[in-house]
Amino acid sequence: MADTAPLSLCAREPHVPADRLVAEMVPPPRFDSVRFATYLPDPDQPSQTEAVRVLEGFAAGLDGDPAGGAKRSFLGFGKAARKAKAPAGPRGVYLDGGYGVGKTHLLASLWHATPAEPERKAFGTFVELTNLVGALGFQQTVRTLSGHRLLCIDEFELDDPGDTVLVSTLLARLVEAGVALAATSNTLPGKLGEGRFAAVDFLREIQGLSAHFRTLRIDGEDYRHRGLPEAPAPFTDAQVTKAAHATAGASLDTFPALLDHLARVHPSRYGALTDGLAAVCLTDVRPVPDQSTALRLVVLADRLYDREVPVLASGLPFDRLFSEEMLNGGYRKKYFRAISRLTALARESKGLVAE
């Protein structure tokens, strides 16, 4: 293949208008084609099969259930709400489980299975939702989403109490308007144990909405490594550079320079930062120097994984990105998820290097 000049993430400073934030609240490309039928439950984990059954019923129960204009409330607010007949079952589901058990797959499958036009269903991460509020303002966000039948929130973040209260208040307004909710969530600082977020804490944090969520516990191991070979060892700088020049649409950056650049780009723009990339090639991967940088890298890893962008790297393997202190701290689940996802993307990049 002819040599092509690689792109550079460090040269990109994307601007993301508010209307794009709304339009892009759909399952990311990696989950375009997922359905309940394509979820492969671990036969040793019956909770996975049970989760599919319950979610299929939840989606079916949303058929013909309008949101918005009728101002129906399933929380019991107001006279009109007391006169309205609330549908059977909860208005929200929370998927509780460790990383890599397929929570996002199931959440996206629920979005696809819900009988409503795409513009009346929304899917996004907690960060994307808070970015939407920042772009539109609280009241306009309520008006924009109140006509939806379903709002799916992946990776509900509880690290910032202010954002948690903001989103909890937003969700209360949306449920009052008749919007059904579904969520997965992340770890609070200081929550160790299984490395997952406990359902009881999630329900407490969303305050008055807790009674309207049904918790689905999903047990299992990280499917990205279930029965699969170990992640490939890092390549050499020369191999990564050659592959970047040989792959149309690939980017090439040094890892330290990329980390510095991420500090200058708001995380809400990391998706746009990766627009059109066929692969991300990184040289000189080394341990992340501090927690702020590490958390930015987690967001980038999520956006790359969502968009199925393979990552080819030299330097240290991805399981050595984060220090032992980080991996034992309050954000440990985020770091393990980033390692898991970057490892999967590294595995997908092997074909970029000529034998």
Q: Tell me what the mean pLDDT of segment 327-338 comes to.
A: 83
pLDDT at 126: 87
Pairing mode, if any, of strands 250-254 and 279-285? parallel
* DSSP conformational letter for 234: P
What string of DSSP letters covers 272-297? HHTTT-SEEEEEEE----SHHHHHHH
pLDDT tens digit string along 114-163? 999 999 999 998 888 988 898 889 999 999 999 999 999 998 876 666 77
Q: What are phi and psi of 231, to 5 degrees?
A: -60, 145
Collapse the DSSP code of 242 into the 3-class scheme (helix H, G, I; strand E, B; otherwise coil) and give the result: helix
Structure tokens of 308? 């199925």
Confidence of residue 9 (pLDDT cuts 50, 70, 90): very high
User: What number of other Cβ atoms are within 10 A of residue 184's Cβ?
Assistant: 25
- Residue 196 clears pLDDT 80, i.e. is over it: no
- Residue 77 clears pLDDT 70, i.e. is over it: no
Question: Under CATH, domain 43-220 is a member of which superfamily?
Answer: P-loop containing nucleotide triphosphate hydrolases (3.40.50.300)
What is the value of pTM for the model shown?
0.75
Confidence of residue 73 (pLDDT cuts 50, 70, 90): very low
Q: How far apart are CA 154 and CA 291, in angstroms?
A: 22
The Cα angle at residue 168 between residues 167 and 170, in degrees rounded to 5: 60
What ranges make up the beta strands (E) of the chain?
Answer: 92-97, 121-125, 150-156, 180-185, 213-218, 250-254, 279-285, 311-315
Above pLDDT 90, what percent of the chain? 52
Above pLDDT 70, what percent of the chain? 80
Q: What Rg do the C-alpha atoms of the chain give, in angstroms? A: 21
Helix boundaries (H) for 46-182: 46-60, 78-83, 103-113, 126-136, 138-146, 161-176
Which of 289, 277, 222, 224 has its CA nearest to residue 253?
Answer: 277
- Residue 252 clears pLDDT 70, i.e. is over it: yes
